[in-house]
Chain A
Amino acid sequence: MPIETRLSPDLHANASTEALESAMVEIRNLSLWYGEKQALKNISMDVPKNRITAYIGPSGCGKTTLLRCLNRMNDLVDGVRTSGTIRIGGTDIQDSALDVTELRKRVGMVFQKSNPFPKSIYENAAYGPRILGASDRRELDQIVERSLRGAALWDEVKDRLNDSALGLSGGQQQRLCIARAIAVEPDVLLMDEPCSALDPIATAKIEELMIGLKRRYTIVIVTHNMQQAARVSDITGFMLMGELVEIGATRDLFTNPKDRRTEDYITGRFG
C-alpha cells in the first residue's frame, strides 16, 4: 500500500515525528451530525500502522463518535449524517456499496463495558470465526487458543473453556472481549475506554497487553485517562467539542503542546 506518497505535507508535520510511516486509516474532512447537532467538525488525520493512537478529551467531545465512524457503528443510530472520507487500508469505507459486515471483520472493536456473550468462554472466542464460516472443530480449537493466548487469558481459562463467560472477573471479561475481537485477525482494533470499569491491576494487565498487540494490529483507543494515553500510546489526539484540536507524538503532545487549549486540558485547568 503506497499510502505515504499521498500524505499531505501539513499532516505530515502534524501527525508524527517518526516520518514516513504507512497510514492504516486516513480521515479527511470528516464531519458528522446527529440530526441538527454537529458532533464532529472537519477532522483530518492519519492513523499509522502498528501503532497505538489515543484520543483524549472531555466527555461529549466526540472521541467515541469518531471511533465508531471507523467501523460504521454509527449506522445503527437513527438520523446520523456524515461528510468527508475515511479510508482504511486504502478502501473508502463511507462508500454505500461497501459491505459493512466485511468492514467490521477487518476493524474489530472492544467496548467500554465488557460485553461477553452469555455463552461459554470457548463460544465467545469462536463467535467471529463461526460468523466467517469456520466450523471445523480442530481449526476452531486452534483459533480459540491463539486468540486467548493473544489476549493473555489462556493460562487462566484453559481448564474451563466450557464454563460461562459471565463467571469471569471484570478484567478477564474485558480480555475475553479482546480475544473475541482478535480471533478474526482484524487489521485495526478499536478500543472505547476499555479500562474505565476496571481496577488498577486489571487496567495494568490490559495496557501491557495492548503494547504487545500493536506488533500485529493497528490500535485506536479512546480514553478519559490522560495517564493511560501517556503510558500506552504512540500518538495522541486531543479533541474538544467535535474538533481535533491537536494531534502528535504522545511525548510531544504531553510535554510541549502547541495549542493553548491542549495545554489547559493536560495541565488540569478544565475537563
Chain B
Amino acid sequence: MSRFWKSGDPFIWLTAGGLAFSLLMVAGLILLILANGLGFFWPKDVVLLVMDDKTAVMGQVMDREEIPQPGAPPETPKKYRIQVKQGNRDIYGQDFTWVDESRIARRERPDDAIVIERREWGNFVGTLREVREDGRPVAGGGDDGWNALEARLPQAARLLAEIRRIEKTEIGAVNHAQEKIRLNLKKLSAQGRGEGPEAARLKAELGALQTGYAEMETALGAAKKKDTTSVVAAAVGGQEKELPLTQVVRAYRPNAMGSGAKAAFYAAKVWEFVADAPRESNTEGGVFPAIFGTVMMVMIMSLVATPLGVLAAFYLREYAQQGPFVSAVRIAVNNLAGVPSIVFGVFGVGFFVYFVGGSLDRLFYPESLPTPTFGTGGILWASLTLALLTLPVVIVATEEGLAAIPGGLREASLALGATKFETTWRIVLPAVMPSILTGLILAMARAAGEVAPLMITGVVKLAPALPLDSFWPFLHMDRKFMHLGFHIYDVGFQSPNVDAARPMVFTTTLLLLGIVLVLNLAAIVLRNRLRKKYALGTL
C-alpha cells in the first residue's frame, strides 16, 4: 500500500480527475448554451391541434413536459402537456398556451399555415385569406395569395425604410438643430442677452428650421399614404385580421418549406439578430445596439485602464523604494480585485455620475439643467467604473511581467550610458508588453461579462440611440447604452413575455461568449506576435 502511494500514481489520477471535472463542467455549460441558443432561429412546423371538444389550437410546438400528479399511485401512466406558440396575442391575450396531450383528438400539418412576423403584437399564425391594394382584393387565399404577398413584401420594406429615413435622419437632424438653438437661446437669456442681435439671429434660424420641418412632415404624410397594400389572414378560430404590409417583418409557411428554404430563413434570422435593433420589448428582433455598446464600453475601458494600470505598476516595481509600505499597497491592490463589483458600481454612481458629472453639468451645460447631460449614467461613467474594477488585474499582470525581466537587461542598458528612463522606455517597456497584454485580456474578459455595476452607471434596457452617430461630436460619451450582459438579465428575468424571451437568453449568451472570444483572440494574436519579437530567452 505504501509503495502504491509512493509511486505517485494516485496523485496523477487525482490531478487528472480535477482537470477532467473542470472541463466537464465548462463543456456542459457551453453545450447547454449551444443547444438552446443555436436551435432558436430554426423555423418550426405549424401544427393544428383539434381537441376532443372540437376546439382547435394552431401554432408551433415549443416544449413538452410531464404533468405532475401528486398523490397518484406509482403505476399511474404518465401524462404530458405541450407548450404551443399560438401567436395572435391581440386575439388570445397571450402568445403561448399549454395543451394537455390527452385531450388532443387529431394533429394536422396544414400546408397553407402561415406565420406572419409583425412589428407589433408578435407573430400571427393562421391562414391567408386575401391580399388587398387600396382596400380592393387583388388575390385570394392559398398559393395565389401567397405569391402575391411575397411579391409585394420587398416594396413594402422599401416604403418602410423611406418612412424611417424621413423620421429618423431628416426630422431627427432638424430636431437636433432646433434643440441646439433652443439651448443657445437659453444660455443667452441666462447671460442677460436674451434680446440682443445674436438672439434675434438664432430665432430667425429657428423659424427657418420650422419651415423645413413642415415640408418634411408633408413628405412623411405622402410616404405614409403610399402604404396601401394589406394582407388579410384568419386565425384558427375564424377571426380575421387586416395587416398593412409595412407592419409585416416577414411571412413564411414553415410546413411548405424545404430544408434549403429553412436554412436560408435561419441565416436571415441570425443576421437580423446580430445586425438589427430589438423590437417588442427586446423579445424580437436583434441585439445590435447591445453588441455595439458592449464592444465600445470595453474599448473605452481598455483605453483608460491599460495606461493607468501600467503606469502604476511601473512606479510600484521600478521606482518605489521597496519596503513595508509598498508591500501594503501591493496587497491592497490585489485585494481590490476581490471587492464585489456592485461596490464599484455604487462608487461609480456617487463619484463619477453625481460628483464629476454633476460638476461638469454645472460648469459646461448649465443651459440644459435641470436635465442632466453628464450628471446621469452614461457610457463614459460605466466605462470608467469598469476601468477601476479591472485596474488591479492590469497592475498585477504588469508587475509580474516587470519582475520577470532579468536584471541583467537593465544593467546592460545602464552600463551603456542610458538613463533609467531610457532603459525603461527602450528595454523594459517592450519586454513587458506581452504581460501588459495578458493583463488586458483578463481585464477585457472581466469587463465584457460584468453586469451589476453597469446597471446603475448607464446601461438601459432599450437605448434610443447608439453612442456613436452622425451628429457632432459623433462620439456621445454621455449617452446611455445597451449591454449584452444586461440584455441577458433583462430578457431572462424582466421581460413581460417570459416564454418568448427565454430562448433569447441563450442566443444572447452565445453571442456574448463569442464577442469575448473574439476580443481575447485579437489580444492573444497581438501578444504572441510581441512575444516572438521580444522573446526574453533564458537570461
Contacts and interface: CB of A to CB of B under 8 A. Distances in A.
Given A115-B406, A118-B534, 18 more contacts: A76-B414, A101-B418, A103-B417, A105-B417, A108-B415, A108-B416, A111-B408, A111-B411, A113-B408, A115-B408, A117-B412, A118-B535, A118-B537, A119-B534, A131-B426, A132-B417, A164-B533, A181-B416
B511 interface: no
Contacts of A128: 416-417
Contacts of B419: 101
Interface of A: 71, 73, 76, 101-105, 108-109, 111, 113, 115-119, 127-128, 131-132, 164, 166, 177, 180-181, 184
Interface residues of B, number: 23
A73 B414 contact: yes
A166 B537 CA distance: 6
Contacts of A116: 412
Nearest to B531: A118
Given A113-B408, A118-B430, A104 B414 contact: yes
Contacts of B427: 117
A191 B416 CA distance: 13
Contacts of B535: 118, 164, 166
Interface in B499-531: none
Helix, strand, loop or mixed for chain B's interface? helix
B413 interface: yes
A116 B533 CA distance: 14
Contact of B411 (A76, A105, A131, A184): A76
Interface string B198-235: 00000000000000000000000000000000000000
B363 interface: no
Given A113-B539, A164-B535, A184 B417 contact: yes
B409 interface: yes
B506 to A, nearest CB: 45
B533 to A, nearest CB: 8
Contact of A131 (B406, B422, B431): B422
B417 A73 contact: no
B536 interface: yes
Contacts of B417: 101-105, 128, 131-132, 184
A115 B414 contact: no
A105 B406 contact: no
A247 to B, nearest CB: 25
Given A118-B534, A127-B426, A184 B408 contact: no
Q: Which of B406, B416, B430 has the most CB of A within 10 A?
A: B416
